[in-house]
Structures are given as C-alpha cells and as structure tokens.
Structure 1
Amino acid sequence: MFLAMLGMGLIIPVLPEFLHELGAGGQAAGYLVSAFGVTQFIFSPIAGDISDKYGRKPMIIFGISLFALSNLLAAIASDLTLLFVSRFIGGIGSAALVPSIMAYLADITSEEERGKGMSWLGASMTSGFIIGPGVGGFLAEFGMRTPFYASACLGLLTMVCTIILLPESLSSDLRLKRQQSKDKRENIFRQLALSFKSRYFILLLIIFAMTFGLTHFEAIYPLFVVQSYGFTTRDIAILFTVCSLIATFNQIVLTGWLTRKIGEKAIINYTLLFSAVTLILLLFSGNFYYVMTITMLFFTFGNILRPTINTLLSKEAGEDQGLVAGMNNAYMSLGSIFGPIIAGILFDVHINLPYLFGALVLLGSVVVSIKGVKVKKDVTSS
C-alpha cells in the first residue's frame, strides 16, 4: 500500500502543468479524478468476492499490475482520451488492490489487534504521500512526464516484491470451501440496495461523505493554490510532503490515545466537524505557512478518521471481510466519483465554491454520525 500510494503521490505536483498542456480546466480535472472512481466503484465488490474465494494475493498482484499500466499510459498520453483510459484502468487496479489488502489485514489480526493494524495501514498509505509529492516535484525538473514513468516503475517493483515475499492469508481449504459454495452474491447495485438495510450502513455513508470531502479537496487543490495564491510546482510538492509527514505522525501518536480517551464515535464526530472547518479556513489567506498549517490539519483529521471507521466496519463484517471491504471501497468510489465532478463544476463557477460545498457535506455527515453511529461499550471503554 505504501508503494502504491507513493506512486500516486509522485504525480500530484505536476498535475496543473500537465492538465494545462492538454487544455484541461477545473471541470476536466474533476472528470479525470471521477473516471478513476467509476471503475473502482463497479469492480470493488467483484474484487472483494473473488478475493474471498480465490485468495488475497492474486488480487493484490492483479491490482498492482493495472496500477503500473495506468501510469505508463498516462506518461505517454498526448490527449485527454488516453488519459481517461489510464484513469479507468487505474480504478480497476484500485478496486482489486485496496479491499484485498484490507481483507488481508483482517485475516491476520484479531479484533483486539485490528484497530492498531488499520492505523498502521492508514499510516502506510499516508507515508506514500509524504515522500511521493516531494520526489515528484524533484523528478519534474527532468521533465513533466518523468513522475508518471517513475510511478509505473514503482508499480512493477511492488508487483515483484508481492509475488516473492507475500504469503497467502487464506488457507487452501477455506478457499476451496468458498469456491464450492452455491451462494451467489448480488450484483453491485443490488448489493448497494441491500447495504441500505445493513447494520453498517451508517458507517458506509460516512465513508462516502469522508471520501467526497477528501476528493473534493484534492481534485482541485493544485489548481486552486496555483490560480488563487500563485503557488508553483515546487510549492505544491513541499506542501503535500510536509503536511503528510506531520499528519502521519499525528495519526500514529494520537489515534490510539484518542480512542482510549473519548472513543471511536467521538473521534468520528470531531474529525468530521474539524475537517469541515479547515475547508472554510483555507479560503482566508494565501500565506504559504498558513495554507500549510490548514492543509496539515485537514490531512490529520482525515488520517485519524479513516482507520477509526475502517476498524468499526471490519468488526461488523464478521466472516464477510472481503465483501464488506469491497463495499467499503465501493462507497469510497462513489465519493470519489461525485466529489471531483461537483468540485470541478463549482470551481469553474467560482474558485471558492468547491470548499464551501465540501464543508457543507462534511457538516451534514456530523449530524448523521451523531444520530446513527453505534459502538459497543467495551470498544470505547478506557
């Protein structure tokens, strides 16, 4: 997960210049981010089901290989069409990779250990963003497309490491039993309909809102700071590197302590609320260090929120870790579809509108969380 996110982080600083070269504005940028989410949404539950039956490792390898192919196509893209194709392929790769890794983690941890495991998994994802943008900004000095080639190479390296070093987490007997099972899972849209009545629906809904807010923030962030505050590619690289580093440190130090002190539900409520506030505060000044502080806070709240929700969702999943991880990714995908599209449209109307609307969505999710999230008493006890 670290290497995959590192590869994704590499390309962040060059996006404004890359999109400008291809004649793309805020709306096109939003559609490009959403294209990733469309195929991620469609294939996530399918990938989760396959990983339950045939093992986590094959799906992880498959996902990483598509990730590498996606970045290679982006590197050679000379128009938006090929860039969209690369994003669609990347979405399929993410659908195979993310739920399989989350289910793998659930396979090898007890419920008591799972919160810590999810926290470390979240830290590994964020760590990719620590190094990625900084390295991407450096590589961009050798050419705007260099970060894409480097990202593709990292994907291939990760695939080789996975093949050699990663053991399968599901026993052959369990995989055979599931393969012989005659129970058929519904298609993605039927699964979504059934999830509305599930005991973990509110958590899935918050995952959607969280991802909506995050992709709303990230989809037009490079364009926003360039057009509104005049930041450079190097400035963006420094921002993402420093902010991700501090946010990851805060997550590792604070998540466990906050869970013991105030419990998971309070963490969810407060991080959603403070995330909404930071989106609004971002609009008040173009001072570099002010923007860095606000961005760092937004990343910190998101980094603490993500493993907290994933832990609760995993505990509710029981034996259907692959399926629920797939639904988790599907709701993340829905957020990453609609968040960037709306952000891009609003950005072309007024540069500040995406962050105001994103804050509104996150505030609404606070109300949903307060009324709907329930946790076991022993989970929140200190």
Structure 2
Amino acid sequence: MSATPVTPAAEDVRIPREIWVLIASAFVIALGFGLILPVLPQFAQSFGVGATASSIVVSAFAFFRLVFAPAGGRLIARMGERPIYLLGLVIVAISTGATAFAQNYWQLLVFRGVGGIGSVMFTVSAVALMVRLAPPTIRARVSSAYASAFLFGGILGPVVGGLLGNLGLRVPFIVYAVALLLAATVVGVFLREASLRPADGAPVLPVMTVRDAWRDSAYRASIGSAFANGGANFGVRNAILPLFAAVVIGKEPWVAGTALAVFAAGNAVGLTVAGRMSDRLGRRPFIIGGLLISGVATAVTGFATDLPMLVVFSVVAGVGAGALNPAQQAGLADIVGRERNGGPALAAFQMSADTGAIIGPILAGALIDFGSYPLAFGTTGLITLLAVIPWLRARETHVVARAPQDAPRS
C-alpha cells in the first residue's frame, strides 16, 4: 500500500471562503486608494512645495509602514489576524479623513504618514492569512486573485479619482476614508467567527526567523526584487508619474488617472497569465521576466512626449509588474510553507518593499529637481533590472517545477 498521499489537481481545488472575503475587501481598499493617487502629488504641491517634498509625502506613508512592521507582526501573534486587520483599516480611514482637512504641508505629511501604521497592520494580516489558508497547489492562483482585486480597484479608482479631483483635491480623500470603513464592515461581518485562529490546544508552529529564511537563495533574491518593485511600482510610479503627466501632457487630474489606470490594466493581464502558469511552470521564469519587462518600460517612461506614448509605456510596465507579483508572493509562501509561522520572514520581505517605496520617490524627486524626468525614470528602471541578477542563481521554489534532485536550500 502506497504511503504517498493523493493530491487533487490544482484545477479541482477551490479558493477558501475566508480568502474570498479578503479578496472582496481588497477590491474596496484598492478602489479607495486609487481615488487619491492622481491628486496626492498635486495636493501636496498646492501648499507651495516642489517635486522632492511632494514625493516625501508618499515616502512618509511607506516609512511608517516600515517602522511599524515588526510591532505589527507581534500584535498579530498576540491578538490574531482579524482584530489587527480591522484596526488597521480604521486607522487608515481616520488618517485619510484627517488628510482631507490638512491646512498646510506638514499636517498633510503627518496625517498621511500615520496611515502607514494602519496599512502595514492590515497588509501583513492579510498575507499571513493567505499563506496559512491557501492550499499549496493553488498558491499562485490565490495570490493572483487577491492581487487582481487590488488591480481592478486600481483600474477604476484612478479614473474616478481623476474625475473627483475636478470637484476639489480634497474630495477623493473623503471618499477613500468612507471606502475603508466599508471594507472594515465587510470583514467584520463575514469573518466574525474565530475560525481563523488555531484551535485551542493545537500545536504551536515553529517560527521561521529571518536568519533561517536568509539561508535560502530564493528568499535572498525575493528581498532584492521586493525592494526594486516597491521603489518602482509603489513609490516612484505613484509619486512621480502624476507630476510627469501634469508637466508633459496636461494638468487635469484625469490625465494622471488615465496613466495609472492603464498601468493597472496591464497589471491585470500579467496577473492573469502568471497567476495560473507559475503554478505549472514555476516561479522564477515569471519573476525574472516581470522584472525585465517592468524595468525596461519604466526606464523609457521619462521619454514619453504625449498621452498615447505614456499609455503604451504604462501598459507594458503594468504587464511586467503583474507577471512578477503573484509568482513572487507564491514563491514566498513556498519558502515559508504551512508547517511554520513565517511572521518574521514575511515582515522582513514587506519591510524591504517599503524601504524601496521610501527611497525610490525621494531619489527620483531629487533627480528631477536637479536633473530631469528621464534621468529619474531611467535610474528607477535600472535598479529594477539589477534585481534580476540574484534570481539568475536562485533556486526554483515550486515543488511541481523543481527537479527531484534539487536541494531544498542553497
């Protein structure tokens, strides 16, 4: 009698209901977040500051995420994912509502920065839940579905936000605060049971420390690609692209909203392909390909001279980022596994992305003030391309794609 367990095909495995609730909430969060993307840099500049100072507003949000990430992980371990998830949403909602009524640049900086504390709380909570609840054979599909919800919200959000910006730069922030409270209500109602926590008396999972994870070549490569992705696609694109669109094409908020929306649309295409194919072919091809495509498209963005050209560059960059993200998230789940508590390793990964999101906009803003937009986007794209190098030597994490003789660690 064979001792080998029979594993259902990935196509036959369904996404758990709890994850669908998180996916629905992600859509609402992203929709609201997308509302403020086209107007945040211009709102900052309405207080009489330059590109560097307006970029720091974006970096401040990521800075607070970075600083609070370790404490957020400890709170999750002590109180559970659901309470911290809900508390995080409420904190961001309050800070966003306060941002709408900021009277000067420094109030804007503080209010927006404090929102980063709540953001890292619900982000790490959601990732920890998905790592634990997602069946191993469909990890990339789960990551793709979760990211797709963000993207569909991200496609619609900037367009609506650009239109709302015509009613006043403060209006999108008020709507975003309401959207976050709606997301908190959805999670609070549909995940009100305690089933997300381990049962009483269940064995405590061993903790994967950052030192343990660092021995894995794939984890080391993930830290580098997280930094590059955070800097390019969460930092520079959100902080600099709206300013670039306003200077080169037009100051109307819908112009920047269009560029951000088509980036999200390209992202959705990349996610759809990589979300399923990386469960069959492995993580590395999509991570490496995504970094290459995203890096090149970002590097040439600064040379766009009209809206159609900017749209093309944004779509291609979005496809690359979309191919990267689900494969990278699934690879991280492969590394941690379901038999260990990966809180510290997951927090370090998130901190690397947030560090990129802090440094990227500040560096790009300085390059713009003392150089040019092409220099800023070109440098950002080069950093993304350099993140490919560690992945060329990293192991393949997916058990389906990995050859039996491959060592689990390198």
Normalised to the residue count of structure 1, the TM-score between the two structures is: 0.89
Worse overlay, 195-204 or 232-241: 195-204
Q: Deviations over 1:125-151 (max 9, x none)?
A: 112211111111222232221100001
Partner of 2:95: 70
- What secondary structure sits across from 1:352 in the alignment? helix
- What secondary structure sits across from 1:160 in the alignment? helix
Distance 2:230 2:180 in 1: 24
- What secondary structure sits across from 1:144 in the alignment? coil
- Indicate conservation of the 8 Å contact 1:272/1:363, yes or no: yes
Aligned AA for 2:197? Answer: L
For the pair 1:93 / 2:118, whether they are aligned, the reply is yes
Give 1:106 shift: 1.8
Give 1:300 shift: 1.7
Instruction: Give ranges in structure 1 of 5+ residues lacking alignment.
Output: 186-190
Aligned AA for 1:232? Answer: E
Q: Deviations over 1:78-100 (max 9, x none)?
A: 11111111122111011101111
Aligned-CA RMSD value: 2.4
Aligned AA for 1:107? Answer: R
Partner of 2:388: 366
Instruction: Give the direction of change, closer, same or farther, for the CA distance of 1:195–1:353 in structure 2 (3 Å limit).
Output: farther
- Indicate conservation of the 8 Å contact 1:259/1:380, yes or no: no
Worse overlay, 299-308 or 48-57: 48-57
Q: Deviations over 1:343-373 (max 9, x none)?
A: 1111111222211111111121111211234
For the pair 1:34 / 2:82, whether they are aligned, the reply is no
Q: Deviations over 1:285-319 (max 9, x none)?
A: 32211211110111121122111111111111132
Distance 2:95 2:160 in 1: 19
Give 1:60 shift: 0.5
Give 1:17 shift: 3.0
Q: Higher RCO, 1 or 2 (CA under 8 Å, sep at least 6)?
A: 1
Instruction: Give the direction of change, closer, same or farther, for the CA distance of 1:195–1:11 in structure 2 (3 Å limit).
Output: same
Partner of 2:365: 344
- What secondary structure sits across from 1:78 in the alignment? coil
Distance 2:161 2:201 in 1: 42
The partner residue of 1:268 within 284, 287, 306 is 287
Partner of 2:250: 230
Identity rate, percent: 25
Aligned AA for 1:328? Answer: F
- What secondary structure sits across from 2:120 in the alignment? helix
Q: Deviations over 1:20-73 (max 9, x none)?
A: 211121101221111111111121132223223421101100110111012111
- Indicate conservation of the 8 Å contact 1:264/1:380, yes or no: no
Instruction: Give ranges in structure 2 of 5+ residues lacking alignment.
Output: 1-25, 404-410
Distance 1:274 1:184 in 2: 35
Residues paired across the two proteins, number: 371
Distance 2:342 2:200 in 1: 17
Structure that is richer in helix per residue: 1
The partner residue of 1:289 within 308, 311, 331 is 308
- Indicate conservation of the 8 Å contact 1:133/1:240, yes or no: yes
Alignment of 1:165-180 (within 5 A): 165-166=190-191, 167-168=193-194, 169-173=196-200
Instruction: Give the direction of change, closer, same or farther, for the CA distance of 1:99–1:290 in structure 2 (3 Å limit).
Output: same
Give 1:202 shift: 2.1
Distance 1:367 1:246 in 2: 24
Partner of 1:188: none
For the pair 1:313 / 2:332, whether they are aligned, the reply is yes
Aligned AA for 1:247? Answer: N
Aligned AA for 1:369? Answer: W
Distance 1:173 1:66 in 2: 30
Give 1:123 shift: 0.8
Partner of 2:264: 244
